Amino acid sequence: MTSTHQLDIAPIGLSFSAQTFQKLAPDSYLLRHLQRDPPTRPSKRAPDEFRAPTLHTGALAHAQGSAVVRVGDTAVVCGVRGEIHALTLGEGRTKGKISVTRNDAVEDEIKTHALLVPNLELGTGCSKDYHPGPPTDFAQSVAERLRVLLVDTVKMVPAETLRITDDDGEIKAYWVLYIDVVCNSLDGNIFDAAWAAVVSALKSTRLPQAFWDADREQIMCDPDRQLYRRLEVRELAFTASFCIYTNKEEEGEGQKWLLSDPDEFEEGICDEKVLVCVREGGKIARIEKSGGDTDVLEIMPECIRRAKARFDTWKKMLDSQN
């Protein structure tokens, strides 16, 4: 009823181009799209449609492992560089040694020695909101979440593969993997793209053969590329992010849409966000949900179903690379 009334009084001159409407009233812009039959997002995607990803591994010359991931207009490059963390320190009389008690049952070496170091760089001109300089709070929080997922939750890289031992099997040093994700283009959902890049880059990592040189008392590496060994990656996991949009207008208030793989525009409007991390065999590794009042039990089965399908897409893509 109200809508007809509004139509009657609306002057003919007051109609905007889609872009202007999007800037003036982003909320209703998204809502009008979703109210169409079938619901279509401004990016012409269906609510449950993810953007098609592309993936390339091993493209960089100076990184031991690398991956370039593009999801729609979000593009990231991830490079893995191995450096050596020696357990003997200092020279001559000041020489000290860090002793390590090996405990294969409790694998905390990766955490205690900080052997996996993921970082995220957004200050590359990837979007107008991020400038070069110290990382923003957002970049720091995404990097930290990547680290938690990599080190605490999924435990993709076993500690054994990073140990460098002498002939007697004593641990002399560790490989430390610096996993740097540089964002080239940002159009929402940085986490899924960054995580997929980290996983793919680790999967493609080849480390040189390192050995303990007793005469020099340090770790040396063999430059022969034939002897490089593939980094052992125990188990794959991929994430899927969602936004929940709730209709706040009087008519049809409370109606919700679950949007897969949100872009920058949608992320800016929706405050309710869900992340599901699926590992091999369809097991759930992690669920995050923030903001909003949606019934978790109601929404989660659908999120998990979509996340599992997304895992298969990523897995297939990564398998075709190796």
Partner 1 sequence: MALADRRRINGPLTGTTPPLFTSTPESPISLKSARDIRPVFIKTSLTPPAHGSAYLEIHTSTLKLSASVYGPRPLPPSAPFSPHARVTAEVKFAPFSTPGIRRGYVRDNFERDLSSQLQIALCRAINTAKYPKSGVDVFVTIIDTGSNAREVNEFEILTAAINVSSVAVCDAGVEMVDLVSAGFVGRDAQGDIVCDPENVMEKMCLVSYMAARDEITMVWTKGEMEGEEVVKMTDVAAETAGRTRGVVSEAVKERVWSLQLGGKPDVKMSG
The residue from 26, 39, 123, 158 that contacts partner 1 (CB under 8 A) is 123
Determine if 265 is a binding residue for partner 1 (CB under 8 A).
no
Instruction: Give the C-alpha distances (Å, rounded to integers) separating 15 from 19, 20, 21, 41, 265.
Output: 12, 10, 9, 21, 22
Determine if 118 is a binding residue for partner 1 (CB under 8 A).
yes
Instruction: Give the C-alpha distances (Å, rounded to integers) separating 32 from 22, 27, 45.
Output: 11, 9, 14
| Minimum CB distance to partner 1 smaller for 164 or for 244 | 164
The residue from 15, 99, 101, 320 that contacts partner 1 (CB under 8 A) is 15
As measured in angstroms, the least distance from the Cβ of 314 to partner 1 is 22
∠45-188-15 over CA atoms, to 5°? 60
Of the ranges 102-110, 173-181, 294-302, 303-311, which one interacts with partner 1 (CB under 8 A)? 173-181
As measured in angstroms, the least distance from the Cβ of 113 to partner 1 is 5
Q: Which two tokens stand for residue 270?
A: 């929706």
Tell me, by CB under 8 A, how many residues bind partner 1.
68
Q: How far is CA 301 from the centre of its chain?
A: 22
Of the ranges 50-58, 179-187, 190-198, 291-299, which one interacts with partner 1 (CB under 8 A)? 179-187
Q: Which amino acid is at 292?
A: G
| Minimum CB distance to partner 1 smaller for 198 or for 276 | 198
Which of 35, 274, 65 shows the shortest CA–CA distance to 161? Answer: 65
Determine if 264 is a binding residue for partner 1 (CB under 8 A).
yes
**Cα–Cα distance, 234 to 203 (Å, whole number):** 10
Of the ranges 125-133, 152-160, 281-289, 307-315, which one interacts with partner 1 (CB under 8 A)? 125-133
As measured in angstroms, the least distance from the Cβ of 238 to partner 1 is 21
C-beta separation of 151 from 110 below 8 A = yes
- The DSSP output letter for 152 is I
Q: Please, is 14 exposed, middle or buried when counting C-beta atoms within 10 Å of its C-beta (0-12, 13-18, 19+)?
A: exposed
User: In degrees to the nearest 10, what's the CA dihedral of 198, 199, 204, 206?
Assistant: 70
Q: Which residues, 214 to 243, sit near partner 1 by CB under 8 A? A: 218-223
Determine if 25 is a binding residue for partner 1 (CB under 8 A).
yes
The residue from 180, 192, 261, 272 that contacts partner 1 (CB under 8 A) is 180
Determine if 17 is a binding residue for partner 1 (CB under 8 A).
yes
**Cα–Cα distance, 183 to 136 (Å, whole number):** 13
The residue from 103, 107, 111, 114 that contacts partner 1 (CB under 8 A) is 114
Q: How far is CA 56 from the centre of its chain?
A: 16
Q: Name the residues that contact partner 1, by CB under 8 A.
A: 10, 14-18, 21, 24-25, 28-29, 32, 59-63, 66, 73, 75, 77, 79-86, 89, 98, 113-115, 117-119, 121, 123-128, 132, 134-135, 140, 143-144, 147, 176, 178, 180, 182, 184-187, 208, 210, 218-223, 264
